[in-house]
Amino acid sequence: MLRFQDLLAYKKGFALAMNIYNLSKSFPKEETYSLTDQVRRSSRSVCANLAEAYRKRRYPKHFISKLSDSDAENSETQTWLEFSFACAYIDQETFDDLTAKSIEVGKLINYMIQNPNKFGSK
């Protein structure tokens, strides 16, 4: 039986969230309760919403709704990465790498949205 942790979107989203967590440790202290907290929360929410969606997979509308929430959190993460780059907390290479990974997660989530039946949704 497939667990939500086995979903490719979850695995890649989790790895991205951990990359962001480790990277954001170097952000300035004055950003602790703003940008640092926000980028960590949104990147983690991608996985949390995937987990919730998977548990609701028997109900297509609920499944797709939670996947949509996950996709929205992924987009929010991209926005915080843009701010991190604009504030010079991350360099161009890091920004490009993390953004590409986030785009890949978004594509996987959107595949799930477009094909709910392949994930146990009726």
Q: What is the pLDDT of residues 46-78, one digit of tens each?
A: 999 999 999 999 999 999 999 999 999 999 999
Domains and CATH numbers, the chain: 4-119 (1.20.1440.60)
Q: Return the HEC string of the chain.
A: CCCHHHCHHHHHHHHHHHHHHHHHCCCCHHHHHHHHHHHHHHHHHHHHHHHHHHHCCCCHHHHHHHHHHHHHHHHHHHHHHHHHHHCCCCCHHHHHHHHHHHHHHHHHHHHHHHCHHHHCCC
pLDDT of residue 122: 73
Convert the pLDDT of each residue in 70-107 to its tens digit. Answer: 999 999 999 999 999 999 999 999 999 999 999 999 99
